Amino acid sequence: MADLLLQQSKAPPQPHRKPFVPWLQRRYTLELRQQLGWLQQLVIFVVSVLVGLLISGVILVAAGVSPHDILNEFVVQTFTDPQNLRAVLFQAAPMVMVGLAAAMAFRARFWNLGLEGQMVCGAIGATFVSLHEIGPPGLRLWLMAACALLGGLVWVVAPVLMKLRLGINEIISSLMLNYVAANFLLHLLYGSWKDPKDAFPYSPKFQPFERLPDLLDGFSSAILLAAVVAVAAWWFVDKSRAGLYLRFVHSNQRVADAVGVPVRRMVLGAVLLSGALAGLAGFMVAAGQEGRLTQAFYNGYGFSGILIAFLARNNPLAASAVAVLVATLFVAGRSLQVFYQIPFSMVQLIQAILVICVASSDFFIRHRLRAVGSKA
């Protein structure tokens, strides 16, 4: 045996040269990759985002916006004009919250598609406190936030219990509750909560102390709150024991269960937290942006949250960064709507294209093509 090995190693290395076969004439096979370096992963990610933006740009040009204007609206205006930067951060606060909410649920492998409904319920909870003037003015804002947390949480209880107890698909159940919440919102806005001052379907204005105050220079405190929550969420998933358990649950539920991780409790907790965060996002829209209960939830916040969590790989800090970029998209989309009559659904389309490109690019991270001989 040893002789054999020795002989083999002694044999002179044969020059390994195959005849060159043109690329298209080779036969390819697909195989799974074990691991790809982070740099290559990053390159693939960035390229896919750029491809997505390029496609979106082409669509915008086809819709009648000149390339120069696109660059101006999306890049120059946003980062040079402080007014616009303020608008972006203003928009970013609820985005960060829905992104975190989606990431929390996804970490427990729960497709929480009911983020919009939970936002609506959070906003309804906050408005309830405001309309009934519960608590002293100094505490009012905190009470509203607490009630919003509770509202969002209540709205996710049914889907998560149905999933854990009965094995019901949470995608459908949480989505159905979006429509229920939306109709309930309309019921309130066209009914008992309508502002008596005019005929529009929104609630009476919140009082000044019921709104998220401005910090220095006109930056809303909502973004500060969002940043604090993001850091807390990062601590939770990265440093705490529960976060470690959640990673167990995410990678393999059965193994997690076998080694004694309280899987059901972890899923329940993460999903309830997700609902509560979405409720807080609703509070930020109502008490931060609108100053009253309106129908401002129909801009596809739910999908934006999923997009943010997906692009950030469920990492809270990355989610915050992505949320700011999505907020940029929203702000630019609104000015496109005003100045170029491009409907706001363009923003939705761009987001979907980005998800499609990045999701498809995962293919190149997880697989590789290998040439095996020639076709002939």
Partner 1 sequence: MDLLTNWLGNMPGFAIPYALAALGLIVSERAGVLSLGAEGLMLVGALVGVGVQLAVHEPAIALLGSMAAAAVVSILFAVMVVWLRVNQVIAGLALVFFCQGLTGLVGSLMGWTNMPVTGLQNLDLGPLVQLPLVGRLFRQNTLVYLTPCIFGLVVWRLNHSLSGLRLRAVGENPQAADAAGIPVLRTRFLAILAGSALVGLAGGYISVVSTKLWIAGMTGGRGWIAVGLVIFARWSPWRAFVGALLFGCIEALIPQMAAAGISLPQYFVLMTPYLVTLGVMVWVALAGKGSDQTPGALGEPFLREERR
Binding site for partner 1 (CB under 8 A): 29-32, 59, 63, 111, 113, 158, 162, 166-169, 171-173, 175-180, 183-184, 186-187, 190-191, 300, 303, 306, 310, 342-353, 355-356, 359-360, 362-363, 366-367
Q: Tell me the HSE value of 356 on the side-chain side, using a 13 A CA sphere.
A: 11
How far apart are the C-alpha atoms of 334 and 54, rounded to whole Å? 20
Shortest Å distance, C-beta 292 to partner 1: 19
Q: Which is nearer to partner 1, 62 or 259 (CB)?
A: 62
Cα torsion angle, 146, 94, 248, 170, sign: positive
Shortest Å distance, C-beta 188 to partner 1: 9
Q: Which is nearer to partner 1, 90 or 303 (CB)?
A: 303
Shortest Å distance, C-beta 308 to partner 1: 13
Contact yes or no for 117/247 (Cβ under 8 A): no
| 164, burial (CB in 10 Å: exposed 0-12, middle 13-18, buried 19+) | middle
Shortest Å distance, C-beta 298 to partner 1: 9
- Cα–Cα distances (Å) from 339 to 117, 342, 344, in that order, read 31, 8, 12
Contact yes or no for 241/232 (Cβ under 8 A): no
Q: Which is nearer to partner 1, 240 or 345 (CB)?
A: 345
Q: Which is nearer to partner 1, 131 or 180 (CB)?
A: 180
Shortest Å distance, C-beta 7 to partner 1: 34
Taking alpha carbons only, the member of 89, 87, 127 closest to residue 335 is 87
Q: Which is nearer to partner 1, 13 or 191 (CB)?
A: 191
Shortest Å distance, C-beta 264 to partner 1: 16
How far apart are the C-alpha atoms of 95 and 74, rounded to whole Å? 18
Instruction: Report DSSP state, residue 314.
Output: T
Q: Which is nearer to partner 1, 118 or 220 (CB)?
A: 118
Contact yes or no for 37/371 (Cβ under 8 A): no
How far apart are the C-alpha atoms of 86 and 376, rounded to whole Å? 62
Shortest Å distance, C-beta 48 to partner 1: 11
Q: Which is nearer to partner 1, 63 or 154 (CB)?
A: 63
